Structure 1
Amino acid sequence: MFPGATTDREAASYVVVGAPLDATTTFQPGTRFGPDRVRRFAETYDDYDPRTESRFSALGVHDAGDVRPWDDVPAYLDHLAAELRSVAYDDAVPLLVGGEHTVTYAGVETVDPDVLVVCDAHLDLREAYDGNPWNHACVTRRCLDDLGVDRAVIVGARTGSEAEWNRAADADVEVVAPEDAREWLDALGDGSAGDADDRPFAADESVYCSVDIDGLDPAYAPGTGTMEPFGLDPREVRDLVRAVAPRADGFDVVEVNDRDDGQAAALAGKLLREFAHSHASAVAEGRTGGSE
């Protein structure tokens, strides 16, 4: 169980769902261990959050456990989306813990956002990888082309194929390079009402937030499948999550594996908590956006 996620399912405002899919990892496998590892390395975190003056255990979080995968990725994603829809139908926010980045497809299908905000080292805009359109290198492309997401904002991207960079030049994709992330975050604001007119989302746009842990520099999160140097620092990703959370109807953190001493998992667990604290604070203050 994710520490502090003690609310009964029927009363929950947030539901943690583990998706330990590890089917298409292209370099270092191990994302099947991600959800359990994130739970383990979140055990030391204090319950109280001084910024929002709230306790994680009082936010109404439930841990529904893992949705165990099998080798038919499209069928698994359909099943995972059905599990997540049961969360959304109960007016709770799904907090998905991967697993490889492909599981984001199920979260986006559930929430049906206008905008997908992704923290990622990779563009993930391939039509297929080694002939497989369900490879984790294709997930943002699948969300745009197959699920009808209006726009994807990829923060921290610093690598991709030539075809991916060409796709990223289309009007429905915005790429924020690591060196431009702080300026973009400053424009995004902190999620407060006074920033609403300046943020790069329309007032009526709904958002899904996905954090691929490899968006961070591997110095901070080496426990991931495909490390890419020159990435984001933890505070930048924390601030992204804090700012996007009030607008978001769903969240995931993915691509954590067991190839480090817990750095990536510790960050993932903290980011999940940051999302929940920030979203709950916005709900309490009546400043959520999008479809809320």
Structure 2
Amino acid sequence: MAAFPGADAELHEAAYAVVGAPLDVSTTFRPGARFGPERIRRFARAFDGYDRRTDCRFGEFVADDGDLEAWDDAAEYLRFLEGKLADHRADGRVPLLLGGEHSVTVAGVRATEPDVYVCLDAHLDLYDTYAGNERSHATVTRRALETAEEAILLGVRTGSETEWDRAAEADVTVIGPEDVASWEPAFAGDAYLSVDIDAADPGFAPGTGTPAPFGLCPREMRAVVRAVAPSAVGFDVVEVNDRDDGQAAALAGKLLQEFVFAGAGG
């Protein structure tokens, strides 16, 4: 497995650690998220490692710790993944998680214990169980709220009636696609930032499991990543699959870079 391009720091000296989590067991429409970590790394090969805006060099801050290969027992896998990410956090590194389906986010949230869960997503993901599975990719926000005190969901444009009822409670804020451009963080405490690539309109990122039209443009997503990164204790980008020519993977890799530049370079 090739490392994320430019992730040249020694692990013990790095401020950020890339970890791949190719779990793909609960996808309900188009599977293939297991290819996400490798695909994101591959389509990041063309990126420059220097950011003029922040005068930041990616390779000075980031190490790639490889993939934690997945297996069929999702509950056990997520426990192991949580432990791996918690080790990075304990050693002072911000974990950068490459999915895999969105359920891997639960391990990231539990490992970093943020005050606020911030997520770019087309879907609410507020089912308590989906198809009898409490660890489904459709239950991620619900599980995140077992650790975080509140959830801020940006770009959401679909959900069941039951999910919208849950979203109306005080610990959930939903920002629709039309309002994301004017959103600014107003929360206190540490955040965990999750990017489900389907937050993007499928015209920009068709390679994902459950594409939903009328989504965000890449610049809107970048603005959110830049705004949240300085407060974030963890980051992931998930739900990239192999059903396009690399558009979704390239966007995912670039948003990961932008997270590091904004967090490390200011």
Measure the CA separation in 2 of the matches of 1:135 and 1:182.
Answer: 29
Partner amino acid, structure 1, of 2:132: G
Question: Partner residue of 1:277?
Answer: 261
Displacement of 1:11: 1.0
Question: Partner residue of 1:238?
Answer: 222
Conserved 8 A contact 2:32-2:209: yes
Displacement of 1:48: 1.4
Question: Partner residue of 1:216?
Answer: 200
Q: Percent identity?
A: 59
Matched, 1:169 2:168: yes
Matched, 1:53 2:55: yes
Partner amino acid, structure 2, of 1:215: A
SS in structure 2 opposite 1:165?
Answer: helix
What does 1:1-292 correspond to in 2, within 5 Å? 1-58=3-60, 60-144=61-145, 146-147=146-147, 149-184=148-183, 188=184, 199-202=185-188, 205-282=189-266
Displacement of 1:219: 0.3
Measure the CA separation in 1 of the matches of 2:9 and 2:179.
Answer: 39
Aligned length: 264
Partner amino acid, structure 2, of 1:210: S
**Segment drifting more, 162-171 vs 41-50:** 41-50
SS in structure 2 opposite 1:18?
Answer: strand
Conserved 8 A contact 2:43-2:253: yes
Displacement of 1:42: 0.2
Measure the CA separation in 2 of the matches of 1:113 and 1:86.
Answer: 16
Measure the CA separation in 2 of the matches of 1:174 and 1:44.
Answer: 36
Displacement of 1:30: 0.3
SS in structure 2 opposite 1:153?
Answer: strand
Q: Deviations over 1:100-144 (max 9, x none)?
A: 000000000011011000000000000111111111000110111
Conserved 8 A contact 2:17-2:96: yes
Conserved 8 A contact 2:56-2:264: no
SS in structure 2 opposite 1:244?
Answer: helix
Displacement of 1:9: 1.1
RMSD, aligned α-carbons:
0.7
Displacement of 1:281: 1.6
Conserved 8 A contact 2:49-2:57: yes
Q: Deviations over 1:13-44 (max 9, x none)?
A: 10000000000000000000000000000000
* Structure 1, gaps ≥5 residues long: 189-198, 283-292
Measure the CA separation in 1 of the matches of 2:182 and 2:102.
Answer: 26
Displacement of 1:46: 1.1
Measure the CA separation in 2 of the matches of 1:136 and 1:235.
Answer: 25
Q: Deviations over 1:141-163 (max 9, x none)?
A: 0111x32x110000000001100
* Structure 2, gaps ≥5 residues long: none
SS in structure 1 opposite 2:103?
Answer: helix
SS in structure 2 opposite 1:154?
Answer: strand
Conserved 8 A contact 2:100-2:238: yes
The ranges of structure 1 where at least 4 consecutive aligned residues each deviate by more than 3 angstroms after the TM superposition are none
Displacement of 1:53: 1.3
Measure the CA separation in 2 of the matches of 1:62 and 1:68.
Answer: 18
Q: Deviations over 1:37-90 (max 9, x none)?
A: 0000000011211111122112x2110000011111111100000000110111
Measure the CA separation in 2 of the matches of 1:126 and 1:48.
Answer: 41
